[in-house]
Amino acid sequence: MLNNKFYVTTPIYYPSGRFHIGTAYTTVLADSIKRYHKLKGEDTYMLTGTDEHGQKIQEVAKKNGQTPKEYVDKMANVAKELWAKMDIQYDDYIQTTETRHEKVVQKIFEKFKEQGDIYKGEYEGLYCVPCETYFTQTQLVNGKCPDCGRDVIPMKEEAYFFNMKKYTDKLLKYYEENPDFIKPDYRKNEMINNFIKPGLEDLCVTRTTFDWGIKVPSDPKHVVYVWLDALVNYLSALNYLSDEDDTLMKKYWPADLQIVGKDIARFHLIYWPIFLMALDLPLPKTILVHNWIMMKDGKMSKSKGNVIYPETLLDRYGLDAVRYFLLREMPVAQDGIFSPEQFVERYNFDLCNDLSNLLNRTISMVNKYFDGNVPNYNGTINEVDKELEEFTNKQIDNFEMKLNNYEIANALQEIWTLISRTNKYIDETMPWSLAKEEKTEQLKSVMYHLIENLRKIAILISPFMSSTANKIFKQIGIEKNELKLWYSLKNYDKIENVKTIQKGEPIFMRLNKEEEIAYIQDAMNNK
Ligand code: MSP
């Protein structure tokens, strides 16, 4: 049975500075998975946005000589421009300073208070200002914030608390009964061992030390803690508890996939499900926790001069190369390393040698031997063809299996295995000898199979690299609309009497290794 809707979310980003490649990674991941589901005919919905309250934003705005609202609006536009440049097909962009969001946060807060889930107390703890999070002494790492490594300061304030303890057992039971809820699986144990087993602390959900936040209606000297505010975006964007109609909520909740980085896993795997339980709402089907893009010398940081911004790569190498690299090189379950060397290598090997060459060789042979006309399918006329067809179908299955388990890098690897196998098919069948020996039927079959496999490869890569897929469709003379359907992927008789164009530009041109490494390195050092 088809699951016919798919709601995917990214975290909402802090607009406290320029968006780097890590932010782009999460968003490209969500966009690609959404496109895959859309290709399968599902009703998809993708949400992204910006997380605009809190002390840090207030400070940054001040530094920029702007009001917080002016500043966050400007940054939301910066994000939207970047997503447009990266062809991100989100359906809604939420800013937490929008009235539609603020009203819902206030209603939820008061509801929790009325239900007795939120109570008033006093908070004393070690506070990390940039992370806006309190920690206990035992949570600190070398006396510093466990999330960002910076100093923490002792603080005390009157505050409201959410009674997490009330829901701990229910949460553990839910983890147990829903093995797909957390991916990868090891994150579940991490939550249990590091946070739940030692005793889940009640969460402090208001602040009085600054005022750039959503006011608690019944006690307005308090603003709602930025994480409770932020997490609600996934619901407020669907008009949950709003005066607007609830079509979106009915149609799309629960989310099918929520993608988050490892640093914010705790908020999404513990507090978020508990808030949802307190609201009596179903939980998202899967929360996917991805690891980080690291640099050779550790975390990206401005002071180290090792930050890479998406624009540096986009402007020079094009969108698809960047999207491919991010998804292929960053295994979701482990950290990936960005290096200029690896970027150039992947470009030259995977995109140029493997993919672009397969297309060029095929196009030029079909032109040479059949004047650009793709022969019709004649079944499998020998073992080599049969083997190629079986191999291809197996790769398509492998691809889907990996993708459905959100192992994106592995899914891409399955496509590239297919590309290599198809290149090898040329070497095995030696079309040039078949032409010389006038084995026309065999030659026709080889050309057909090559074009057909290119069609399949183009369909498979289209969620990740849509303009490259379109270029391939165009060069092999196929109307994208007719044949893009996912469900025709495994058929081998879909192409009839199409004509390839006479001469296509190579889709990727080999890069000069030294020059390009130096270029990227320079950009990283200078910005
Ligand atoms: N505002 C919160 C999220 C609230 S969601 C209800 C936040 N924002 S953030 O801008 O700091 O981070 C957003 C996302 O970017 C997180 O998922 C984080 O893991 C991710 N990344 C930040 N740096 C990254 C890398 N170097 N690599 C990959 N992802 C990274 O947290």
Confidence of residue 483 (pLDDT cuts 50, 70, 90): low
- What pLDDT score does 380 carry? 82
Asked whether residue 12 is domain-assigned, the answer is no
Counting ligand 1 atoms within 8 A of each CB, the residue from 8, 12, 13 with the most, and so the one to mutate, is 13
Q: How far is the CA of 13 from the centre of ligand 1 (A)?
A: 6
CB 431 within 8 A of CB 448: no
* pTM for this model (two decimals): 0.93
Q: Which atom of ligand 1 is nearest to the CA of 263?
A: 19
Asked whether residue 369 is domain-assigned, the answer is yes
Q: How far is the CA of 23 from the centre of ligand 1 (A)?
A: 6
Asked whether residue 434 is domain-assigned, the answer is yes
Asked whether residue 474 is domain-assigned, the answer is yes
- What pLDDT score does 482 carry? 52
Tell me how far apart the alpha carbons of residues 104 and 492 are, in angstroms, rounded to a whole number.
52
**Which tokens sit at 163?**
């009674």
**Which tokens sit at 116?**
């007795």
Confidence of residue 465 (pLDDT cuts 50, 70, 90): very high
CB 32 within 8 A of CB 464: yes
Cis peptide before 254 (omega within 30 of 0): yes
Q: 430 in the Ramachandran plot: left (φ > 0), alpha (ψ -120 to 50) or beta?
A: left
More confident residue, 494 or 124: 124
Write down the residue that tokens 């010389």 correspond to.
436
Task: Identify any residues that bridge with 13 across adjacent strands, giving them in sequence order.
Answer: 50
Counting ligand 1 atoms within 8 A of each CB, the residue from 23, 82, 297 with the most, and so the one to mutate, is 23
Q: Which residue owns the Cα nearest ligand 1 atom 5?
A: 11
Asked whether residue 331 is domain-assigned, the answer is no
Confidence of residue 408 (pLDDT cuts 50, 70, 90): very high
Task: Identify any residues that bridge with 123 across adjacent strands, giving them in sequence order.
Answer: 157
Q: Which residue owns the Cα nearest ligand 1 atom 24?
A: 22
- What pLDDT score does 11 carry? 98
Tell me how far apart the alpha carbons of residues 243 and 294 are, in angstroms, rounded to a whole number.
44
Give the mean pLDDT of the chain.
93
What burial class does residue 409 get, using C-beta atoms within 10 Å of its C-beta: 0-12 exposed, 13-18 middle, 19+ buried? middle
Counting ligand 1 atoms within 8 A of each CB, the residue from 16, 26, 291, 335 with the most, and so the one to mutate, is 26
Tell me how far apart the alpha carbons of residues 264 and 258 are, in angstroms, rounded to a whole number.
12
- Got the DSSP string for 308-323? --HHHHHHHH-HHHHH
DSSP code for 255: P
Q: Which residue owns the Cα nearest ligand 1 atom 22?
A: 22
Report whether pLDDT(314) > 90. Answer: yes
List residues near ligand 1 (CB under 6 A): 11-14, 22-23, 25-26, 51, 230-231, 233, 260-261, 263-264, 292-293, 300
Report the 10 Å Cβ neighbour count for 371. 10
Report whether pLDDT(1) > 50. Answer: no
Counting ligand 1 atoms within 8 A of each CB, the residue from 292, 301, 309 with the most, and so the one to mutate, is 292
Q: How far is the CA of 11 from the centre of ligand 1 (A)?
A: 7
Rounded (10°) CA dihedral 422, 426, 431, 434? -100
Beta pairing, strands 203-204 & 153-162: antiparallel
Give the tens place of pLDDT for each residue, 319-364.
999 999 999 999 888 899 999 999 999 999 999 999 999 999 999 9
**Which tokens sit at 253?**
């909740």
Report whether pLDDT(140) > 80. Answer: yes
Percent of the chain scoring above 90 in pLDDT:
77
Tell me how far apart the alpha carbons of residues 476 and 221 are, in angstroms, rounded to a whole number.
65
Alpha carbon separation from 489 to 425, 469, 496 (Å, rounded): 19, 14, 15
Tell me how far apart the alpha carbons of residues 106 and 101 are, in angstroms, rounded to a whole number.
9
Q: How far is the CA of 14 from the centre of ligand 1 (A)?
A: 8
Counting ligand 1 atoms within 8 A of each CB, the residue from 25, 258, 264 with the most, and so the one to mutate, is 264
Q: How far is the CA of 227 from the centre of ligand 1 (A)?
A: 13
Angle at 382 between CA 380 and CA 387, to 5 degrees: 75
Give the tens place of pLDDT for each residue, 65-121.
999 999 999 999 999 999 999 999 999 999 999 999 999 999 999 999 999 999 999
| CATH (domain of 445) | 1.10.730.10
- What pLDDT score does 481 carry? 60
Question: What does the pLDDT average to over 232-260?
Answer: 95
Task: Identify any residues that bridge with 153 across adjacent strands, giving them in sequence order.
Answer: 127
Q: Which atom of ligand 1 is nearest to the CA of 13?
A: 10
Q: What is the residue type of 363?
A: I
CB 476 within 8 A of CB 498: yes
Confidence of residue 31 (pLDDT cuts 50, 70, 90): very high
Instruction: State how many domains the chain has.
Output: 1
- Helix (H, G, I), strand (E, B), or coil: what is residue 346? helix
Mutual angle of helices 310-317 and 319-329, in 10-degree steps: 130
Q: Which residue owns the Cα nearest ligand 1 atom 16?
A: 261
Alpha carbon separation from 56 to 97, 122, 210 (Å, rounded): 15, 23, 10
Q: How far is the CA of 20 from the centre of ligand 1 (A)?
A: 10
Q: How far is the CA of 261 from the centre of ligand 1 (A)?
A: 6
More confident residue, 127 or 404: 404
Q: Which residue owns the Cα nearest ligand 1 atom 2?
A: 13
Cβ partners under 8 Å of residue 508, min gap 6: 321, 347, 351, 352, 355, 356
- What pLDDT score does 494 carry? 77
Q: Residue 473: give the domain boundaries.
A: 340-488
Beta pairing, strands 133-135 & 153-162: unpaired
Sign for the CA dihedral angle at 51, 53, 55, 56 comes to positive
Tell me how far apart the alpha carbons of residues 38 and 41 are, in angstroms, rounded to a whole number.
5
Asked whether residue 177 is domain-assigned, the answer is no
**Which tokens sit at 296?**
């050779």
Give the tens place of pLDDT for each residue, 277-308.
999 999 999 999 999 999 888 888 777 778 88
| 94: Cα separation from own chain's centroid | 17
Task: For residue 267, give the nearest of 147, 145, 128 by alpha carbon.
Answer: 147
Confidence of residue 135 (pLDDT cuts 50, 70, 90): confident
Asked whether residue 497 is domain-assigned, the answer is no
Asked whether residue 356 is domain-assigned, the answer is yes
Write down how long the chain is.
527
Give the tens place of pLDDT for each residue, 362-391.
999 999 999 999 998 888 889 999 999 999
